[in-house]
Amino acid sequence: MSSANAWREATTLTLPVMFGYLPLGAAFGILAVEVGMPIWAALLMSLLIYAGAGQFLAVALLAAGAGLVEVAVATLMLNSRHLFYGLSLLKRFKGAGWRKPYLIFSLTDETYSLLTTLPPERARDHALALRLGLLNQAWWVIGSLAGALIGTALTFDSRGIEFALTALFIVLTLEQARRLRQALPFVIALATGVAALLLLPDRHLLLGAIAAASLVLLVHYRFQAPARSGEGHS
């Protein structure tokens, strides 16, 4: 595939993310400028931090005059779900070479979702993964910059456009189900997701559900392992 075609393919794959990241990034840019941050700082955040909810939190903490330790702890807590993303990508990122640091840096919810839903034959295509990561961050940076620069002057009524990310997650869930053809992970997710919704405050919801799902999968593995390896003993 020629370079131009490869980028075209990656752009098409990231279009749904673009519909979500441009308005969300713009919302971040507007907020950053509203609390008195210079435009370069908002841009720097989207370039170096690159985490949606994390950046909104950072701006709120900055405005509240929080200390650095407090900021570090809050950021670690909010983003600790990323720990579980890495777990399921260990093998896939093997052999990614010079691309690996950026692939890890750019692991947002949306990039993780796109990567893990690629067809099996493309799963180890690290060049494609890099293009997806770069494009997604580009949408985020462009959105933030536009928000910081033109901010409140925007006249286009974009209310509701953030639903694009919800739609993306729905489509990717359907694709994962089609691929796997097993109910197990979806049943686990439904149970832990709904339980977290009922039991946990909003800010711990995502981490709680993902951690619980991982734990259930761990238990499932422990119960399955003897059945797989223990045939000789019984």
Which of 30, 45 has the CB closer to other proteins?
45
Distance in Å, CB of 97 to other proteins, minimum: 13
Which of 7, 186 has the CB closer to other proteins?
186
Residue 218 interacts with other proteins (CB under 8 A)? yes
Evaluate whether 186 touches 177 at the Cβ level (below 8 Å).
yes
Residue 116 interacts with other proteins (CB under 8 A)? yes
Distance in Å, CB of 187 to other proteins, minimum: 9
Residue 192 interacts with other proteins (CB under 8 A)? yes
* Max CA separation in the chain (angstroms): 73
Site for other proteins, residues 10 to 69, rule: CB under 8 A = 12, 15-16, 19, 36-38, 41, 44-45, 48-51, 54-55, 58, 62, 68
Residue 215 interacts with other proteins (CB under 8 A)? no
CA 172 to chain centre: 13
| Binding region for other proteins (CB under 8 A) out of 1-9, 128-136, 148-156, 166-174 | 166-174
Residue 210 interacts with other proteins (CB under 8 A)? yes
Eight-class DSSP state of 81: T
Name the H helices within the chain: 3-34, 39-48, 52-63, 68-79, 82-87, 100-105, 109-116, 126-150, 163-180, 184-199, 202-229
Instruction: Pick from 3, 202, 230, 234 the residue near other proteins by CB under 8 A.
Output: 202
- Count of residues of this chain found to bind other proteins when the rule CB under 8 A is applied: 92
> Cβ atoms within 10 A of the Cβ of 56, count?
16
Which residue do the tokens 């910059």 mark?
A: 145
Instruction: Pick from 4, 64, 90, 153 the residue near other proteins by CB under 8 A.
Output: 90
Residue 118 interacts with other proteins (CB under 8 A)? no
CA 226 to chain centre: 34
4-30 in b/e burial notation, b at 16+ Cβ within 10 A? eeeeeebeebbebbbbbbbbbbbbbbb
Binding to other proteins by CB under 8 A, coded x per residue (else -) over 119-158, reads --------------------------------------xx
